[in-house]
Chain A
Amino acid sequence: MAKKTQGSQRPKLAVWKFSSCDGCQLSLLDCEDELLDVAGAVEIAYFPEATRAVVKGPYDVSLVEGSVSTPEDAQRIQHVRRQSRVLVTIGACATAGGIQALRNFANVEDFTRAVYAMPEHIEALSTSTPISYHVFVDFELRGCPINKTQLVEVIGAFLLGRRPNVPTYSVCVECKRRGSPCVMVAQGIPCLGPVTQAGCGALCPAYNRGCYGCFGPMETPNTAACSAQLQALGMDDPQLTRVYRTFNAWSEAFRRESEIHDA
């Protein structure tokens, strides 16, 4: 069992939100059966999405959703880290900067001027960055959104004091285990599965679509070889830049590959 912070019966779990859409937090709420177990095993100490009750820190495990994209985010994450024994980031925003990291490839003021009537009221950093750029992170759980089974696994692992079982190999492994025909080979549909980390259960290929890369780069992504094949299937450079620039655009491997094709 995880060591308990002083004065508490059960370990205290906090869930924090930064720049994000709430989808990952909702995955936790979506774990109907497991959530009862979670609620029994831990004291849910801070989780504004589910409850208004706030229990003071420090916390045994903090789950952090969202990226750092405002000056306020950058300060608040330091505060969260100081109060958390274990800090786990959840989702593409928190682990890679999210879709909002597209601004990192452009000038953020161009966006604020285009989107908001009074851009002078918008206080945004020029980049959206993962939590690990700012503080030490104990574990990163990938996905846009995260997989709830993996989330339960990670919480359970930290509570029991063991290593979470979250594979880092390709989506193709799950695709083949599931028995789905490869869409690249059988239909010529471009797929990011070979360079993307497993976790979704190879959902898109099972519905005749290529993988979009929601779980970010796999352990040893050979993006150059993948791009060569996507080119052979008819993608040009602008399209290649775009496929790597989605929810995990700012992850190292996808960012570099997107830049190679961005003339």
Chain B
Amino acid sequence: MHVLERAQFDTLLEALQQHGRQVIGPVRRDGVIGYEPVRSAGDLPVGWADEQEAGRYRLHHKDHGRLFDYTAGFHTWKRYLYPPTAVLWQASRDNGRLSFETPSETPPKFALLGVRACELHAIAIQDKVFLDGAHPDPAYAVRRNNAFIIAVNCGRAGGTCFCASMETGPRAQGGYDLALTEVAEDGRHYFTVEAGTKKGERLLDELELREAIEAERAAAAAAVEAAANQMGRQMPVDGLRELLAANPESPRWEAVAKRCLCCANCTMACPTCFCSTVHDSAAMTGETAKRERVWDSCFTMEFSYVHGGSVRKDASSRYRQWMTHKLSSWHDQFGSSGCVGCGRCITWCPVGIDITEEAWLLQEAHGGPTRTGE
């Protein structure tokens, strides 16, 4: 374990840039912290912390000068690895001859700065979706394979976080090139740094950082420990997978449908949701055409459209699809939960529908554990 002083932080960013990388990290704008291009430490949300609740997000400024005191950002890293809109192919007709081409633009080599433990798990889940199997997704693969990941261990948990109950955080357990832990106490401000890959080690060597002393290691460990004890929420995972599979007719689905807008914000905000649709378009002259892929959601009518109409007509069946996929059938499909406990679907639901609350209500309605532990 090494130590990067706060005053040296720009040397890390400069090293990444010298390697031809575009650094994407936390940036404050329009009242939120999102993930956007970062040039220097001055672009980071120095001293800003978020307050998250169901359907509510606010930022507050503090004097501690921390760079990473916010929790899960407004954006997700999928925005960069699996962009919301991507051209899959273009076609043109020249003297009656049709030719197809794949888009030629090469995406930047990203360095993703500030990836949280839950987000590392989310990236691993999307890797499984897009890279495993016979037909890896080329658009995802090129972005993902070129990305350098700098994780940040959480020193504080947010109001809608529940990674502890999903066993995905708050400490990064792998899937990063470098992992930082921020410590700001007793007049000092530094980061402990660990490498997770050879690429990470090489960058560490270049930075020529000193080894951490015992007191620094202990301070970093204590910071992450504190976050684990601050979880805003808890997911009642015991038996949940089976319970969801067994209760497609639960009266809970009608109950939540009364509040659900079918607006799709939850799926768009979720770091693991991967659904997309394709649109074909042609120029009026019929000389050129293209196929684009855009993010889609199981909350739209078109998503379940088969000949004659949509299969999931009402909100109850759409909310059930979302929640059952995340917490039950995802296990069957990909061998893990589809939820990493980041809390975004709770925070960014305009009406504050809470997936953990819905899970508790389902458990309680069908003989599972109760919140009072009875």
Contact = CB atoms under 8 A, between A and B. Distances in A.
Contacts, number: 131
B300 A191 contact: no
Contacts of A169: 264, 297, 299-302
A177 B260 contact: no
A170 B284 contact: no
Contacts of B348: 182, 185
A152 interface: yes
B84 interface: yes
Interface in B258-273: 258-265, 268-269
A185 B262 contact: no
- Please list the 4 inter-chain residue pairs (A to B) with the smallest Cβ-Cβ separation, ordered nearest first: A176-B268, A37-B284, A194-B263, A177-B84
Contact of B264 (A41, A176, A191, A225): A176
A61 B241 CA distance: 53
Interface stretch (A44-52, A67-75, A108-116, A154-162): A154-162
A254 to B, nearest CB: 15
B75 interface: yes
B350 interface: yes
A222 B265 CA distance: 14
Nearest to B261: A194
- Taking residues whose C-beta sits less than 8 angstroms from the other chain, chain A's interface range is 35 or more
Interface residues of B, number: 47
A220 B314 CA distance: 8
Nearest to A191: B350
Interface string A184-217: 1111100101110000000000001000000000
Contact of A186 (B30, B259, B284): B30
B287 to A, nearest CB: 9
Contacts of A173: 263-264, 268, 295, 297, 300
A37 B283 contact: yes
A182 B348 CA distance: 7
B334 interface: no
Given A173-B300, A176-B268, A181 B34 contact: yes
Interface string A139-172: 0000000000000110110011000010111101
Contacts of A181: 29-32, 34, 57, 74
Interface of B: 29-32, 34, 55-58, 74-75, 79, 84-85, 258-265, 268-269, 279-286, 294-295, 297, 299-302, 313-315, 347-351
Interface of A: 34, 37-38, 40-41, 152-153, 155-156, 159-160, 165, 167-170, 172-173, 176-182, 184-188, 191, 193-195, 208, 219-220, 222, 224-226, 228-229
A185 B58 CA distance: 8
Contacts of A188: 56
A225 B268 contact: no
Nearest to A1: B286
A57 B294 CA distance: 40
Contact of B268 (A156, A177, A220, A229): A177
A170 B282 contact: no
A229 B30 CA distance: 21
B279 A229 contact: no
B323 to A, nearest CB: 17
B30 A220 contact: no
Given A41-B285, A160-B282, A193-B263, A228 B351 contact: yes
Given A222-B260, A225-B261, 18 more contacts: A37-B283, A41-B286, A173-B268, A173-B297, A176-B84, A176-B269, A176-B295, A181-B30, A181-B31, A181-B57, A185-B347, A194-B263, A220-B262, A220-B314, A222-B259, A222-B262, A224-B258, A225-B259
Contacts of B350: 172, 182, 184-185, 191, 193-194, 226, 229
Contact of B301 (A172, A220, A229): A220
Contacts of A178: 84
